[in-house]
Amino acid sequence: MSTGKYVVVLVGLLLVPWVMAQELKPKLGQPLEKLPQLAIGPSGQGLPLGSGSVEEGAIIYRNQCLACHGPTGRMPGNALAGGIGSLDGASPNKTVGSFWPFATTLFDYIYRAMPYGREKTLRDEEIYAVTAYVLFLNDIVSEKTTLSASSLPEITMPNREGFQSVYQIEAVDRALKIQ
């Protein structure tokens, strides 16, 4: 085949993806309530229906999480458990139990980012169960716990008072400006 034919074939192959892309239409104008939940905050607003127990979570954890986080959630560099009381020391260990202020944001994180490489493959019930199990690994809930949209926001995390709400800070700033 001559060089000219190679150039024509090459240009043709380069144009195919561009031509196919012209058929794609942007998905603009969707009502907000039909878009996926962006974040589940401290109040738990937006938590889905369903529930999951520590017992169910142990099985899912073993199959989906153990390789990265270790059998007890204490794998160095990827620890989920332990570290309580270490934040003001020389080597703070920021884990779910020592650092996170709200259990609802743990659910949100698992929902959006886990399991690593297969994000958003867990069903809502599985996420509740894994959340319950991770909280159990941190001695925050008992082994008989079942979590749901109503019970998850009620959990008090060990470091809840270690954070200031941005909303409280903004209110103080506004009050100072008024005076």
Return all residues near 101 (Cβ < 8 A) that are at least 6 apart.
42, 157, 159, 160, 162, 163
Q: What's the domain count of the chain?
A: 1
Q: What is the pLDDT of residues 22-50, one digit of tens each?
A: 777 666 666 655 555 567 888 898 899 99
Quick one: average pLDDT of 58-85? 94
Q: How confident is the model at residue 169 (pLDDT cuts 50, 70, 90)?
A: low
- Residue the block writes with tokens 């939940």: 37
In a domain, 22, yes or no: no
What pTM was estimated for this model as a whole? 0.72
Per-residue pLDDT at 17 exceeds 90? no
In a domain, 148, yes or no: yes
In a domain, 151, yes or no: yes
> Is residue 148 helix, strand or coil?
strand
- Return mean pLDDT, the chain: 85
Q: How confident is the model at residue 7 (pLDDT cuts 50, 70, 90)?
A: confident
Identify the CA nearest to 142 among candidates 56, 51, 47, 53: 53
Which pLDDT belongs to residue 178? 56
Return all residues near 44 (Cβ < 8 A) that are at least 6 apart.
104, 149, 152, 153
In a domain, 1, yes or no: no
In a domain, 156, yes or no: yes
CATH number reported for the structural domain that contains residue 97 in this entry? 1.10.760.10
- Cα distance between residue 50 and residue 28, in whole Å: 30
In a domain, 16, yes or no: no
| E strand map for 23-167 | 51-53, 146-148
Q: How confident is the model at residue 86 (pLDDT cuts 50, 70, 90)?
A: confident
In a domain, 61, yes or no: yes
In a domain, 36, yes or no: no
- Cα distance between residue 110 and residue 119, in whole Å: 8
- Cα distance between residue 146 and residue 132, in whole Å: 7
For residue 167, what are the CA distances in angstroms to 34, 135, 171, 174? Answer: 27, 27, 6, 11
Query: Which residue segment(s) compose the domain that 152 sits in?
Result: 48-161
Which pLDDT belongs to residue 22? 72
Q: What is the pLDDT of residues 101-155, one digit of tens each?
A: 999 999 999 999 999 999 999 999 999 999 999 999 999 999 999 999 999 999 9
